[in-house]
Structure 1
Amino acid sequence: MVEKQIRKSRSDGEQSREKLLLAAMKLFAEQGFARTSTREIALAAGANVSAISYYFGDKAGLYKAALTDFLPPPQNNIDMFDQPHFTLRQSLEGYYAQLLGPMLEGEEAELCSRLWLREILEPMGVWANEVDNGIRAEHTAFVGVLARHMGVPVDDEIHRMAHACASMGVHLMIGTDVIKALTPQLLAAPDALRGWLPRLAGYAEAIVLAQIETLKKGAA
Protein backbone atom coordinates (compact mmCIF):
# COMPACT_ATOMS: atom_id res chain seq x y z
CA MET A 1 0.00 0.00 0.00
CA VAL A 2 2.79 2.38 0.93
CA GLU A 3 4.65 1.49 -2.30
CA LYS A 4 1.53 2.26 -4.38
CA GLN A 5 1.17 5.64 -2.67
CA ILE A 6 4.84 6.49 -3.36
CA ARG A 7 4.47 5.55 -7.02
CA LYS A 8 1.30 7.63 -7.35
CA SER A 9 2.96 10.60 -5.68
CA ARG A 10 5.98 10.34 -7.93
CA SER A 11 3.78 10.13 -11.02
CA ASP A 12 1.74 13.15 -9.91
CA GLY A 13 4.96 15.04 -9.27
CA GLU A 14 6.27 14.27 -12.75
CA GLN A 15 2.99 15.44 -14.26
CA SER A 16 3.05 18.68 -12.26
CA ARG A 17 6.61 19.37 -13.32
CA GLU A 18 5.79 18.71 -16.97
CA LYS A 19 2.74 21.00 -16.83
CA LEU A 20 4.88 23.78 -15.40
CA LEU A 21 7.49 23.23 -18.10
CA LEU A 22 4.95 23.37 -20.94
CA ALA A 23 3.25 26.45 -19.51
CA ALA A 24 6.63 28.13 -19.06
CA MET A 25 7.71 27.28 -22.61
CA LYS A 26 4.56 28.84 -24.06
CA LEU A 27 4.71 32.00 -21.99
CA PHE A 28 8.47 32.52 -22.23
CA ALA A 29 8.28 32.00 -26.01
CA GLU A 30 5.45 34.49 -26.37
CA GLN A 31 6.54 37.14 -23.86
CA GLY A 32 10.18 36.58 -23.03
CA PHE A 33 11.78 36.01 -19.64
CA ALA A 34 11.42 39.50 -18.16
CA ARG A 35 7.74 39.94 -19.06
CA THR A 36 6.64 36.55 -17.76
CA SER A 37 5.87 36.14 -14.07
CA THR A 38 6.00 32.96 -12.05
CA ARG A 39 2.41 33.62 -11.02
CA GLU A 40 1.33 33.58 -14.67
CA ILE A 41 3.14 30.31 -15.26
CA ALA A 42 1.67 28.66 -12.18
CA LEU A 43 -1.83 29.82 -13.13
CA ALA A 44 -1.47 28.47 -16.68
CA ALA A 45 -0.20 25.15 -15.33
CA GLY A 46 -2.89 24.90 -12.65
CA ALA A 47 -0.22 24.74 -9.95
CA ASN A 48 0.90 26.70 -6.91
CA VAL A 49 3.70 29.22 -7.30
CA SER A 50 5.60 27.32 -4.61
CA ALA A 51 5.81 24.34 -6.98
CA ILE A 52 8.20 26.32 -9.18
CA SER A 53 10.60 26.71 -6.26
CA TYR A 54 10.20 23.03 -5.39
CA TYR A 55 10.98 21.68 -8.86
CA PHE A 56 13.21 24.36 -10.38
CA GLY A 57 14.58 26.55 -7.58
CA ASP A 58 13.47 29.85 -9.07
CA LYS A 59 12.27 31.51 -12.27
CA ALA A 60 15.73 31.35 -13.85
CA GLY A 61 15.94 27.62 -13.10
CA LEU A 62 12.55 27.07 -14.72
CA TYR A 63 13.63 29.06 -17.77
CA LYS A 64 16.78 27.00 -18.17
CA ALA A 65 14.82 23.76 -17.78
CA ALA A 66 12.27 24.90 -20.36
CA LEU A 67 15.10 25.37 -22.85
CA THR A 68 17.22 22.33 -22.09
CA ASP A 69 15.08 19.56 -20.60
CA PHE A 70 14.03 18.21 -23.97
CA LEU A 71 17.57 18.22 -25.40
CA PRO A 72 19.57 14.97 -25.37
CA PRO A 73 23.18 14.97 -24.10
CA PRO A 74 25.66 16.14 -26.78
CA GLN A 75 27.39 12.76 -26.91
CA ASN A 76 24.11 11.07 -27.80
CA ASN A 77 23.79 13.42 -30.77
CA ILE A 78 27.39 12.87 -31.81
CA ASP A 79 26.98 9.09 -31.71
CA MET A 80 24.23 9.38 -34.33
CA PHE A 81 26.64 10.60 -37.00
CA ASP A 82 30.19 9.92 -35.81
CA GLN A 83 30.75 6.18 -36.21
CA PRO A 84 33.89 4.77 -37.87
CA HIS A 85 31.91 2.32 -40.04
CA PHE A 86 29.44 4.92 -41.39
CA THR A 87 29.57 5.91 -45.03
CA LEU A 88 29.49 9.65 -45.80
CA ARG A 89 25.78 9.41 -46.57
CA GLN A 90 25.05 7.56 -43.32
CA SER A 91 26.99 10.15 -41.35
CA LEU A 92 25.06 13.00 -42.98
CA GLU A 93 21.71 11.27 -42.44
CA GLY A 94 22.60 10.78 -38.78
CA TYR A 95 23.73 14.39 -38.50
CA TYR A 96 20.43 15.80 -39.74
CA ALA A 97 18.44 13.24 -37.77
CA GLN A 98 19.95 14.47 -34.50
CA LEU A 99 19.86 18.13 -35.54
CA LEU A 100 16.15 18.06 -36.39
CA GLY A 101 15.23 15.30 -33.93
CA PRO A 102 13.67 17.65 -31.35
CA MET A 103 11.37 19.08 -34.05
CA LEU A 104 9.85 15.65 -34.62
CA GLU A 105 8.49 15.48 -31.07
CA GLY A 106 5.27 17.43 -31.61
CA GLU A 107 4.07 20.48 -29.69
CA GLU A 108 7.05 20.57 -27.37
CA ALA A 109 9.39 20.73 -30.36
CA GLU A 110 7.70 23.75 -31.91
CA LEU A 111 7.61 25.51 -28.57
CA CYS A 112 11.25 24.70 -27.94
CA SER A 113 12.26 26.13 -31.32
CA ARG A 114 10.35 29.35 -30.68
CA LEU A 115 11.81 29.60 -27.21
CA TRP A 116 15.39 29.10 -28.44
CA LEU A 117 14.84 31.80 -31.06
CA ARG A 118 13.71 34.22 -28.37
CA GLU A 119 16.70 33.28 -26.23
CA ILE A 120 18.98 34.12 -29.16
CA LEU A 121 17.25 37.48 -29.60
CA GLU A 122 16.97 38.19 -25.87
CA PRO A 123 19.87 36.22 -24.35
CA MET A 124 19.73 35.15 -20.73
CA GLY A 125 22.99 33.18 -20.87
CA VAL A 126 21.48 29.77 -21.63
CA TRP A 127 22.25 30.00 -25.36
CA ALA A 128 25.89 30.93 -24.72
CA ASN A 129 26.23 27.99 -22.36
CA GLU A 130 24.68 25.63 -24.92
CA VAL A 131 27.10 26.85 -27.59
CA ASP A 132 30.08 26.25 -25.29
CA ASN A 133 29.01 22.93 -23.83
CA GLY A 134 26.92 21.30 -26.55
CA ILE A 135 27.06 22.85 -29.98
CA ARG A 136 30.86 23.26 -29.90
CA ALA A 137 31.37 19.54 -29.24
CA GLU A 138 28.91 18.55 -31.96
CA HIS A 139 30.50 20.93 -34.48
CA THR A 140 33.98 19.62 -33.68
CA ALA A 141 32.81 16.04 -34.16
CA PHE A 142 31.05 16.88 -37.43
CA VAL A 143 34.13 18.66 -38.77
CA GLY A 144 36.16 15.57 -37.92
CA VAL A 145 33.70 13.36 -39.77
CA LEU A 146 33.83 15.54 -42.90
CA ALA A 147 37.63 15.67 -42.84
CA ARG A 148 37.84 11.90 -42.43
CA HIS A 149 35.56 11.17 -45.37
CA MET A 150 37.37 13.72 -47.51
CA GLY A 151 40.80 12.42 -46.54
CA VAL A 152 42.09 15.85 -45.57
CA PRO A 153 43.18 17.53 -42.32
CA VAL A 154 40.78 19.87 -40.52
CA ASP A 155 41.20 23.43 -41.74
CA ASP A 156 39.10 26.57 -42.16
CA GLU A 157 37.58 25.24 -45.39
CA ILE A 158 36.23 22.18 -43.56
CA HIS A 159 34.81 24.42 -40.85
CA ARG A 160 33.09 26.55 -43.52
CA MET A 161 31.61 23.44 -45.10
CA ALA A 162 30.36 22.20 -41.73
CA HIS A 163 28.64 25.54 -41.09
CA ALA A 164 27.13 25.49 -44.58
CA CYS A 165 25.73 21.99 -44.07
CA ALA A 166 24.40 22.91 -40.63
CA SER A 167 22.70 26.04 -41.97
CA MET A 168 20.30 23.98 -44.08
CA GLY A 169 18.98 22.26 -40.97
CA VAL A 170 19.02 25.43 -38.88
CA HIS A 171 16.82 27.17 -41.44
CA LEU A 172 14.22 24.48 -40.90
CA MET A 173 14.53 24.86 -37.14
CA ILE A 174 14.11 28.62 -36.90
CA GLY A 175 12.58 29.46 -40.28
CA THR A 176 9.53 27.21 -40.16
CA ASP A 177 7.17 30.20 -40.28
CA VAL A 178 8.93 31.48 -43.40
CA ILE A 179 8.72 28.09 -45.10
CA LYS A 180 5.03 27.79 -44.26
CA ALA A 181 4.37 31.27 -45.63
CA LEU A 182 6.30 30.79 -48.89
CA THR A 183 5.80 27.08 -49.62
CA PRO A 184 3.19 25.66 -47.21
CA GLN A 185 2.94 22.42 -49.18
CA LEU A 186 6.45 21.46 -48.07
CA LEU A 187 5.32 21.17 -44.45
CA ALA A 188 1.64 20.32 -44.96
CA ALA A 189 1.82 16.55 -44.51
CA PRO A 190 1.72 15.21 -40.93
CA ASP A 191 5.17 13.64 -41.31
CA ALA A 192 6.59 16.23 -43.72
CA LEU A 193 9.68 17.00 -41.64
CA ARG A 194 10.91 13.42 -41.88
CA GLY A 195 10.83 13.76 -45.64
CA TRP A 196 13.36 16.55 -45.41
CA LEU A 197 16.00 14.40 -43.70
CA PRO A 198 17.18 12.30 -46.68
CA ARG A 199 17.00 15.33 -48.96
CA LEU A 200 19.17 17.45 -46.68
CA ALA A 201 21.65 14.57 -46.45
CA GLY A 202 21.67 14.37 -50.24
CA TYR A 203 22.26 18.10 -50.67
CA ALA A 204 25.09 18.04 -48.14
CA GLU A 205 26.61 14.95 -49.76
CA ALA A 206 26.65 16.79 -53.10
CA ILE A 207 28.48 19.70 -51.47
CA VAL A 208 31.10 17.42 -49.95
CA LEU A 209 31.62 15.39 -53.14
CA ALA A 210 31.93 18.58 -55.19
CA GLN A 211 34.60 19.84 -52.82
CA ILE A 212 36.46 16.54 -53.09
CA GLU A 213 36.50 16.94 -56.88
CA THR A 214 37.74 20.52 -56.53
CA LEU A 215 40.60 19.34 -54.31
CA LYS A 216 41.51 16.61 -56.81
CA LYS A 217 41.66 19.13 -59.64
CA GLY A 218 43.81 21.42 -57.54
CA ALA A 219 46.22 18.59 -56.77
CA ALA A 220 46.44 17.50 -60.40
Structure 2
Amino acid sequence: MIEKPLRKSRADGEQSRERLLLAAMKLFAEQGFARTSTREIALAAGANVAAISYYFGDKAGLYKAALTDFLPPPQKNIEMFDQPHFTLRQALEGYYAQLLGPLLEGEEAELCMRLWLREVLEPRGVWAEELNTGIRAEHIAFAGVLARHLGVPVDDEVHRLVHACASLGVHLMIGADVIEALTPQLLASPDALRAWIPKLAGYAEAIVLAEQEKRQKGAA
Protein backbone atom coordinates (compact mmCIF):
# COMPACT_ATOMS: atom_id res chain seq x y z
CA MET A 1 0.00 0.00 0.00
CA ILE A 2 2.98 2.31 0.43
CA GLU A 3 4.53 1.65 -2.99
CA LYS A 4 1.70 3.08 -5.07
CA PRO A 5 1.76 6.62 -3.65
CA LEU A 6 5.58 6.57 -3.83
CA ARG A 7 5.49 5.75 -7.54
CA LYS A 8 2.79 8.34 -8.13
CA SER A 9 4.79 10.96 -6.24
CA ARG A 10 7.88 10.20 -8.31
CA ALA A 11 5.92 10.48 -11.56
CA ASP A 12 4.32 13.71 -10.41
CA GLY A 13 7.76 15.03 -9.52
CA GLU A 14 9.11 14.24 -12.96
CA GLN A 15 6.16 16.02 -14.57
CA SER A 16 6.58 19.04 -12.31
CA ARG A 17 10.28 19.25 -13.15
CA GLU A 18 9.56 18.98 -16.88
CA ARG A 19 6.90 21.72 -16.69
CA LEU A 20 9.39 23.99 -14.95
CA LEU A 21 12.02 23.25 -17.59
CA LEU A 22 9.69 24.00 -20.51
CA ALA A 23 8.39 27.19 -18.89
CA ALA A 24 11.97 28.28 -18.17
CA MET A 25 13.07 27.55 -21.74
CA LYS A 26 10.27 29.70 -23.15
CA LEU A 27 10.78 32.61 -20.79
CA PHE A 28 14.58 32.58 -20.84
CA ALA A 29 14.54 32.39 -24.66
CA GLU A 30 12.11 35.31 -24.93
CA GLN A 31 13.39 37.55 -22.15
CA GLY A 32 16.87 36.41 -21.19
CA PHE A 33 18.17 35.32 -17.81
CA ALA A 34 18.23 38.69 -16.03
CA ARG A 35 14.71 39.74 -17.01
CA THR A 36 13.07 36.44 -16.06
CA SER A 37 12.10 35.83 -12.44
CA THR A 38 11.69 32.49 -10.70
CA ARG A 39 8.20 33.56 -9.66
CA GLU A 40 7.28 34.12 -13.31
CA ILE A 41 8.62 30.69 -14.27
CA ALA A 42 6.78 28.94 -11.44
CA LEU A 43 3.54 30.69 -12.37
CA ALA A 44 3.88 29.67 -16.02
CA ALA A 45 4.59 26.08 -14.98
CA GLY A 46 1.76 25.94 -12.45
CA ALA A 47 4.26 25.10 -9.74
CA ASN A 48 5.45 26.50 -6.42
CA VAL A 49 8.54 28.72 -6.45
CA ALA A 50 10.08 26.40 -3.87
CA ALA A 51 10.03 23.62 -6.47
CA ILE A 52 12.77 25.43 -8.39
CA SER A 53 15.08 25.21 -5.39
CA TYR A 54 14.10 21.58 -4.83
CA TYR A 55 14.82 20.40 -8.39
CA PHE A 56 17.49 22.83 -9.60
CA GLY A 57 19.03 24.52 -6.59
CA ASP A 58 18.51 28.06 -7.81
CA LYS A 59 17.70 30.16 -10.88
CA ALA A 60 21.17 29.61 -12.36
CA GLY A 61 20.77 25.85 -11.96
CA LEU A 62 17.42 25.95 -13.71
CA TYR A 63 18.93 28.02 -16.53
CA LYS A 64 21.73 25.51 -17.05
CA ALA A 65 19.28 22.60 -16.99
CA ALA A 66 17.05 24.35 -19.53
CA LEU A 67 20.05 24.56 -21.87
CA THR A 68 21.55 21.14 -21.35
CA ASP A 69 18.89 18.65 -20.21
CA PHE A 70 17.67 17.93 -23.72
CA LEU A 71 21.16 17.48 -25.18
CA PRO A 72 22.30 13.88 -25.72
CA PRO A 73 25.66 12.93 -24.19
CA PRO A 74 28.61 13.72 -26.51
CA GLN A 75 29.66 10.06 -26.66
CA LYS A 76 26.22 9.06 -27.93
CA ASN A 77 26.53 11.60 -30.75
CA ILE A 78 30.07 10.47 -31.55
CA GLU A 79 29.02 6.83 -31.79
CA MET A 80 26.64 7.76 -34.61
CA PHE A 81 29.50 8.72 -36.93
CA ASP A 82 32.69 7.26 -35.48
CA GLN A 83 32.63 3.52 -36.14
CA PRO A 84 35.67 1.72 -37.59
CA HIS A 85 33.60 -0.17 -40.17
CA PHE A 86 31.78 2.91 -41.54
CA THR A 87 32.46 4.08 -45.06
CA LEU A 88 33.01 7.80 -45.50
CA ARG A 89 29.42 8.22 -46.66
CA GLN A 90 28.05 6.29 -43.67
CA ALA A 91 30.16 8.37 -41.29
CA LEU A 92 28.90 11.60 -42.85
CA GLU A 93 25.27 10.48 -42.75
CA GLY A 94 25.70 9.56 -39.09
CA TYR A 95 27.31 12.94 -38.40
CA TYR A 96 24.41 14.88 -39.89
CA ALA A 97 21.84 12.56 -38.32
CA GLN A 98 23.13 13.41 -34.83
CA LEU A 99 23.58 17.08 -35.69
CA LEU A 100 20.02 17.51 -36.96
CA GLY A 101 18.43 14.95 -34.64
CA PRO A 102 17.40 17.51 -31.99
CA LEU A 103 15.46 19.47 -34.63
CA LEU A 104 13.10 16.51 -34.96
CA GLU A 105 11.99 16.98 -31.35
CA GLY A 106 9.56 19.75 -32.29
CA GLU A 107 8.81 22.57 -29.86
CA GLU A 108 11.49 21.54 -27.38
CA ALA A 109 14.17 21.65 -30.08
CA GLU A 110 13.05 25.07 -31.31
CA LEU A 111 13.02 26.47 -27.78
CA CYS A 112 16.41 24.96 -27.00
CA MET A 113 17.92 26.45 -30.15
CA ARG A 114 16.52 29.90 -29.40
CA LEU A 115 17.83 29.64 -25.86
CA TRP A 116 21.31 28.64 -27.02
CA LEU A 117 21.39 31.58 -29.43
CA ARG A 118 20.53 33.91 -26.58
CA GLU A 119 23.22 32.31 -24.43
CA VAL A 120 25.75 33.01 -27.19
CA LEU A 121 24.66 36.66 -27.32
CA GLU A 122 24.29 37.05 -23.54
CA PRO A 123 26.74 34.47 -22.17
CA ARG A 124 26.49 33.16 -18.63
CA GLY A 125 29.22 30.56 -18.95
CA VAL A 126 27.13 27.61 -20.10
CA TRP A 127 28.09 28.08 -23.77
CA ALA A 128 31.79 28.24 -22.90
CA GLU A 129 31.44 25.06 -20.85
CA GLU A 130 29.67 23.25 -23.67
CA LEU A 131 32.34 24.40 -26.15
CA ASN A 132 35.09 22.95 -24.00
CA THR A 133 33.34 19.65 -23.35
CA GLY A 134 30.71 18.31 -25.75
CA ILE A 135 31.43 20.37 -28.87
CA ARG A 136 35.21 19.98 -28.52
CA ALA A 137 34.90 16.21 -28.07
CA GLU A 138 32.67 15.87 -31.14
CA HIS A 139 34.95 18.10 -33.23
CA ILE A 140 38.04 16.06 -32.31
CA ALA A 141 36.25 12.78 -33.02
CA PHE A 142 34.99 13.98 -36.41
CA ALA A 143 38.46 15.28 -37.31
CA GLY A 144 39.80 11.82 -36.53
CA VAL A 145 37.18 10.21 -38.77
CA LEU A 146 37.97 12.49 -41.73
CA ALA A 147 41.72 12.10 -41.25
CA ARG A 148 41.32 8.32 -41.20
CA HIS A 149 39.42 8.32 -44.48
CA LEU A 150 41.92 10.73 -46.02
CA GLY A 151 44.82 8.63 -44.80
CA VAL A 152 46.52 11.62 -43.17
CA PRO A 153 47.22 12.88 -39.65
CA VAL A 154 44.91 15.48 -38.16
CA ASP A 155 46.30 18.85 -39.25
CA ASP A 156 44.92 22.37 -39.75
CA GLU A 157 43.47 21.46 -43.14
CA VAL A 158 41.52 18.61 -41.56
CA HIS A 159 40.23 20.98 -38.89
CA ARG A 160 39.14 23.42 -41.63
CA LEU A 161 37.38 20.52 -43.32
CA VAL A 162 35.52 19.72 -40.11
CA HIS A 163 34.35 23.33 -39.77
CA ALA A 164 33.26 23.40 -43.43
CA CYS A 165 31.25 20.17 -43.07
CA ALA A 166 29.70 21.36 -39.80
CA SER A 167 28.64 24.67 -41.33
CA LEU A 168 26.41 22.85 -43.82
CA GLY A 169 24.28 21.51 -40.98
CA VAL A 170 24.57 24.50 -38.65
CA HIS A 171 22.76 26.68 -41.18
CA LEU A 172 19.65 24.56 -40.70
CA MET A 173 19.93 25.02 -36.96
CA ILE A 174 20.52 28.77 -36.71
CA GLY A 175 19.14 29.83 -40.08
CA ALA A 176 15.85 27.93 -40.00
CA ASP A 177 13.88 31.18 -40.16
CA VAL A 178 15.66 32.08 -43.42
CA ILE A 179 14.94 28.67 -44.93
CA GLU A 180 11.30 28.82 -43.83
CA ALA A 181 10.90 32.30 -45.35
CA LEU A 182 12.50 31.41 -48.69
CA THR A 183 11.75 27.70 -49.15
CA PRO A 184 9.31 26.58 -46.43
CA GLN A 185 8.70 23.22 -48.09
CA LEU A 186 12.25 22.16 -47.19
CA LEU A 187 11.41 22.20 -43.48
CA ALA A 188 7.68 21.55 -43.66
CA SER A 189 7.71 18.14 -41.93
CA PRO A 190 9.96 15.66 -40.15
CA ASP A 191 10.36 13.80 -43.46
CA ALA A 192 11.43 17.02 -45.18
CA LEU A 193 14.00 17.58 -42.44
CA ARG A 194 15.28 13.99 -42.64
CA ALA A 195 15.71 14.42 -46.41
CA TRP A 196 18.50 16.87 -45.65
CA ILE A 197 20.68 14.19 -44.06
CA PRO A 198 21.71 12.25 -47.22
CA LYS A 199 21.88 15.51 -49.17
CA LEU A 200 24.26 17.13 -46.70
CA ALA A 201 26.30 13.92 -46.56
CA GLY A 202 26.63 14.05 -50.35
CA TYR A 203 27.74 17.69 -50.31
CA ALA A 204 30.25 17.01 -47.55
CA GLU A 205 31.56 13.90 -49.30
CA ALA A 206 32.32 16.02 -52.37
CA ILE A 207 34.26 18.47 -50.19
CA VAL A 208 36.25 15.68 -48.52
CA LEU A 209 37.04 14.00 -51.84
CA ALA A 210 38.15 17.34 -53.29
CA GLU A 211 40.54 17.73 -50.35
CA GLN A 212 41.81 14.20 -50.94
CA GLU A 213 42.43 14.91 -54.63
CA LYS A 214 44.26 18.13 -53.77
CA ARG A 215 46.53 16.30 -51.35
CA GLN A 216 47.25 13.54 -53.83
CA LYS A 217 48.20 16.07 -56.52
CA GLY A 218 50.39 17.90 -54.02
CA ALA A 219 52.16 14.68 -53.07
CA ALA A 220 52.70 13.83 -56.74
TM-score, normalised by the number of residues in structure 2: 0.98
> Which residue of structure 2 lines up, in the alignment, with residue 197 of structure 1?
197
Shift of 1:189: 3.1
Pairing 1:90–2:93 present = no
Once the two structures are superposed, what CA deviation does each residue of 1:82-136 show, in whole Å capped at 9, x if it has no partner?
1110000111111111111111111101110111011011101000000001100
> Which residue of structure 1 lines up, in the alignment, with residue 101 of structure 2?
101
Alignment map for 1:24-43 (pairs within 5 Å): 24-43=24-43
Aligned 8 A contact 2:104 2:190 in 1: no
Pairing 1:52–2:41 present = no
Unaligned runs of 5+ in 2: none
Unaligned runs of 5+ in 1: none
Aligned length: 220
Shift of 1:182: 1.8
RMSD (Å), alpha carbons: 0.8
Identity between Structure 1 and Structure 2 (%): 84
TM-score, normalised by the number of residues in structure 1: 0.98
Once the two structures are superposed, what CA deviation does each residue of 1:59-103 show, in whole Å capped at 9, x if it has no partner?
000000000001111111111111110000111111111111111
Q: For residue 125 of structure 2, what is the amino acid of its counterpart? A: G
Alignment map for 1:1-220 (pairs within 5 Å): 1-220=1-220
Once the two structures are superposed, what CA deviation does each residue of 1:176-210 show, in whole Å capped at 9, x if it has no partner?
11111122121123432111111111110110011
Partner Cα separation in structure 2 for residue 213 and residue 133 of structure 1? 33
Aligned 8 A contact 2:185 2:192 in 1: no
Q: For residue 127 of structure 1, what is the amino acid of its counterpart? A: W
Shift of 1:39: 0.7
Partner Cα separation in structure 1 for residue 26 and residue 166 of structure 2? 27
- Go from structure 1 to structure 2 and tell me whether the alpha carbon gap of 1:190 and 1:78 turns closer, same or farther (over 3 Å shift): closer
